[in-house]
């Protein structure tokens, strides 16, 4: 009988507490003498769905990491026996795909390496090779031998390996950032194989030699060595990523022609089939491949699905020993009355909602329908605050419960009337301030900044009769115009402060662009948002939560979390709503209230609780 020490090379430690930090080793058994339990840190793996690619693709190349990936080339159909190879490229930031610069030469079933800003794409039934710098593709030196069907591939833009490929090649070429050179052949011709790792520590696995195989080969930069077999043989898989000592593969096709959902992991010694499986079985598609060295997160996108179609389906893989407490929304106090298109400010325990309309989308019926009321929230209940001097909806609002500013907006319907008026709140009463530079409404609908350093971005300039990209800053006394936004902004959601603001969810194109403001200049994040308009945005440039938005019901319950770099899907609201009001200054402590729902304008409040990652909670092992 074998022992744990023989199998794992470790003894079962006798410890007074759970292992943690540098002492933690996934899968290691130990006895916790305080808890009287045998324990271990166990990883859990899962695939989850994400946004579809813009274009369905088969045999597209994918590089990067899960939150900064690039898909290039591929084909969608095979008219007249030849794939309609594409030059199109798409970038993924963790939420949605956005169009990127086209390649110079159409490719499919090629080899790809690197990152979203330093990529290499070659082969694809040709010798062509080109590099991407995050902005554009540039022709590089050609390969020596044209091949297809994604041979084994691993490495980065400046140190890449392309091994095998159809039809039946054993040829291996290395790229040094300038040119390709032929090196030692594979032990046997192979196409449709997979790879992970680096040029000097690489791994090739699966593919087709004289049949579909599970053969696993390690590469040290010079020689190939057979190191075992996959326990579920496959070729043309996807999402092959990781390192030579911890590699993953998912999807692909078996010898009997079945598209796989299963995934497998190589731990440096042997392969294990993972319980986590793709939602959509697929073959011949891109995945985070040659450049993806992550051992905990991968991506599958595109591919060939049954019966024989292209897909843009995207799925994300995560493997972690951490326990993740999901973000959630719970009910808060009920507003005194339904309210739509009102302003919001403050935090969960010191919040403010102001103005708005009782009716959906500010209809003309009912004549003057805008509110002057303010209501204050303490984290449990709403109580009446001071009335504004000018009732308004679709206006700008920023600050805190005791130091807020309301500016612009629609003040009357039927006939419509708008204002440049601005007023300040001190927690008790509203007082007139200096006007905006123009009569406008639909500016950033959730607030950026404070009463002494505020921001008004975009909106509809009534006198000009058009949306505007103008931006104004408030210094506690007056509004002054500063650098324009990159584009016109209409009803965009924003949060943060005057010197570190973030805005997205524009009602006009580009809807999904994420604009960042540093107090002087505007930049656009490379990672897009879902592009929902009439949403709320609470938090800061370093972390925020988008919630609800139009059109309901399709987007009205969705929320997405910004982590300072990219967006990811978060907990759903329980009630779909657009044009809701929200607290503006905190990610971990915020609310949404009111808003328009097709069934009824809302008086409900929902409170957000941000998810918590509890790193590496040890699991007890029961033997009975």
Residues that bind other proteins (CB under 8 A): 325-326, 328-334, 360-365, 380-381, 414, 534, 550-553, 557, 571-572, 574-576, 578, 597-600, 604-605, 607, 609
* Closer Cβ to other proteins, 413 or 585, answer by number: 413
State in angstroms the smallest separation of the CB of 597 from other proteins. Answer: 5
Picking from 453, 355, 465, the residue whose alpha carbon sits closest to that of residue 408 is: 355
* Closer Cβ to other proteins, 414 or 509, answer by number: 414
Handedness of CA 26, 31, 36, 37 (dihedral sign): positive
* Closer Cβ to other proteins, 16 or 415, answer by number: 415
Residue 451 is given by DSSP the state T
State in angstroms the smallest separation of the CB of 178 from other proteins. Answer: 54
State in angstroms the smallest separation of the CB of 369 from other proteins. Answer: 12
Instruction: Count Cβ atoms within 10 A of the Cβ of residue 135 and give its class: 0-12 exposed, 13-18 middle, 19 or more buried.
Output: exposed
State in angstroms the smallest separation of the CB of 176 from other proteins. Answer: 51
Contact call for residues 177 and 159 (beta carbons, < 8 A): yes
Q: What's the CA gap between 187 and 284, in Å, rounded?
A: 23
* Closer Cβ to other proteins, 327 or 421, answer by number: 327
State in angstroms the smallest separation of the CB of 573 from other proteins. Answer: 9
Contacts of residue 238, Cβ cutoff 8 Å, sequence gap at least 6: 249, 250, 251, 252, 278, 282, 283, 285, 286, 287, 300, 303
* Closer Cβ to other proteins, 333 or 351, answer by number: 333
Within 10 A of 325 (CB to CB), how many other CB atoms are there? 11
State in angstroms the smallest separation of the CB of 143 from other proteins. Answer: 51
DSSP 488-516: --SS-EEEEETTEEEEE--SSSSTT--EE
DSSP 3-state assignment of 7?
A: helix
What tokens were used for 252? 């692909």
Please give the C-alpha separations between residue 16 and each of 37, 210, 322, 618, 620, in angstroms, as whole numbers: 11, 55, 21, 13, 14
| E-only strand ranges, 351-421 | 351-354, 374-377, 382-384, 396-400, 403-407, 410-412, 417-418
* Closer Cβ to other proteins, 477 or 574, answer by number: 574
* Closer Cβ to other proteins, 293 or 559, answer by number: 559
State in angstroms the smallest separation of the CB of 206 from other proteins. Answer: 37
HSE at residue 160, side-chain half, CA atoms within 13 A, is: 32
State in angstroms the smallest separation of the CB of 35 from other proteins. Answer: 25
Picking from 557, 597, 606, the residue whose alpha carbon sits closest to that of residue 340 is: 597
* Closer Cβ to other proteins, 85 or 392, answer by number: 392
Q: What's the CA gap between 42 and 195, in Å, rounded?
A: 26
What tokens were used for 181? 């050179």
State in angstroms the smallest separation of the CB of 575 from other proteins. Answer: 4
* Closer Cβ to other proteins, 231 or 380, answer by number: 380
């Amino acid at each position: 009988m074998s022992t744990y020490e023989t199998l794992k090379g470790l003894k079962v430690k006798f410890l007074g507490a759970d292992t943690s930090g540098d002492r933690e080793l996934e899968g290691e058994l130990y006895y916790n003498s305080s808890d009287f339990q045998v324990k271990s840190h166990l990883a859990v793996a899962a695939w989850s769905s994400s946004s579809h690619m813009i274009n369905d693709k088969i045999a597209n190349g994918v590089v990067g990491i899960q939150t900064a990936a690039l898909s290039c080339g591929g084909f969608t159909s095979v008219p007249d026996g030849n794939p309609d190879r594409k030059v199109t490229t798409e970038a993924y930031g963790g939420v949605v795909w956005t169009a990127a610069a086209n390649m110079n030469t159409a490719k499919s079933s090629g080899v790809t390496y690197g990152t979203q800003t330093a990529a290499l794409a070659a082969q694809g039934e040709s010798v062509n090779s080109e590099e991407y710098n995050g902005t554009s593709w540039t022709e590089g030196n050609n390969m020596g031998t044209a091949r297809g069907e994604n041979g084994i591939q691993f490495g980065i833009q400046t140190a890449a390996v392309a091994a095998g490929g159809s039809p039946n090649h054993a040829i291996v070429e290395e790229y040094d950032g300038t040119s390709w050179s032929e090196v030692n052949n594979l032990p046997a011709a192979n196409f449709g194989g997979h790879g992970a790792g680096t040029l000097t520590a690489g791994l090739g696995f699966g593919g087709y030699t004289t049949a579909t195989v599970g053969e696993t080969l390690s590469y040290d930069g010079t020689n190939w060595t057979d190191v075992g077999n996959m326990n579920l043989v496959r070729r043309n898989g996807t999402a092959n990523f990781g390192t030579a000592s911890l590699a993953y593969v998912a999807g692909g096709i078996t010898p009997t022609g079945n598209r796989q959902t299963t995934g497998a992991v190589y731990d440096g010694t042997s392969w294990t089939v993972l319980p986590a499986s793709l939602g959509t079985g697929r073959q011949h598609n891109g995945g985070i491949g040659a450049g993806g060295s992550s051992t905990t997160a991968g991506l599958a996108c595109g591919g060939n699905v049954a019966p024989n179609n292209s897909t843009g389906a995207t799925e994300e893989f995560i493997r972690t020993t951490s326990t993740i407490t999901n973000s959630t929304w719970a009910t808060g106090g009920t507003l005194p009355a339904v309210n739509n298109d009102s302003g919001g400010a403050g935090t969960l325990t010191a919040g403010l909602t102001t103005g708005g309309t009782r009716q959906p989308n500010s209809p003309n019926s009912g004549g003057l329908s805008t509110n002057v009321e303010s209501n204050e929230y303490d984290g449990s209940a709403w109580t009446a605050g001071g009335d504004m001097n000018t009732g308004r909806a679709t206006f700008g609002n920023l600050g805190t419960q005791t130091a807020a500013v309301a500016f612009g907006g629609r003040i009357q319907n039927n006939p419509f009337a708008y204002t440049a008026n601005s007023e300040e709140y001190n927690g008790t009463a509203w007082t007139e301030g200096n006007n905006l530079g123009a009569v406008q409404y639909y500016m950033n609908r959730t607030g950026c900044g404070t009463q002494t350093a505020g921001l008004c971005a975009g909106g509809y300039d009534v006198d000009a009769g058009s949306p505007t990209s103008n931006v104004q800053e408030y210094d506690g006394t007056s509004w002054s115009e500063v650098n324009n936004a990159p584009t016109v902004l209409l009803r965009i959601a924003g949060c943060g402060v005057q010197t570190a603001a973030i805005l997205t969810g524009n009602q006009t194109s580009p809807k999904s662009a994420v604009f960042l403001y540093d107090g002087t200049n505007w930049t656009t994040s490379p990672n897009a948002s879902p592009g929902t308009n009439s949403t709320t945005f609470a938090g800061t440039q370093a972390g925020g939560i988008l919630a609800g938005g139009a059109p309901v019901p399709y987007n009205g319950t969705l929320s997405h979390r910004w982590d300072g770099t990219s967006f990811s899907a978060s907990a759903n609201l329980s009630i779909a709503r657009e044009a809701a009001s929200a607290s503006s200054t905190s990610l971990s402590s915020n609310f949404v209230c009111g808003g328009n729902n097709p069934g009824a304008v809302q008086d409900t409040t929902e409170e957000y609780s941000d998810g918590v990652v509890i790193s590496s909670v040890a699991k007890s092992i029961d033997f009975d």
